[in-house]
Amino acid sequence: MITIQKVSFQKKLVMLEQRRIDAQSQERSSVARQKCIEEHGLNCVVCNMNFEEVYGEAGKGFIHVHYVVPLHGRGYIQSEF
């Protein structure tokens, strides 16, 4: 059995604090993704992995791209198609 006990405090406690958080996010280009699929298909050209073959229906339409230079070190990227 659980006993609930009322606790008294001499001063008020703050239960919620409001903070400001600034964040930067990057999103991959859906146009670049589609061009990649049109040119190379859904199989990875480096390792030949196909997400649908490995994960079934849950992997359908997924692709994987290997990068020579990792994206996290590039900053803003502009590509020509």
Q: pLDDT tens-digit profile of 31-75?
A: 888 988 998 899 988 888 999 999 999 999 998 877 777 767 666
29 lies in a domain? Answer: no
Task: Kindly report the number of other CB atoms within 10 A of residue 70's CB atom.
Answer: 7
Task: Count how many domains the chain has.
Answer: 1
pLDDT at 78: 59
Angle at 34 between CA 30 and CA 37, to 5 degrees: 140
Count the helices and strands in the chain (H runs, E runs): 2, 0
Q: Which of 28, 68, 27 is nearest to 46 (CA)?
A: 68
54 lies in a domain? Answer: yes
pLDDT band at 76 (very low <50, low <70, confident <90, very high): low
66 lies in a domain? Answer: yes
Tokens 């073959």 sit on residue: 53
pLDDT at 77: 58
13 lies in a domain? Answer: no
Domain range for 47 is 42-72
Overall average pLDDT of the 9-15 stretch: 72
> Has this prediction a pTM greater than 0.95?
no
81 lies in a domain? Answer: no
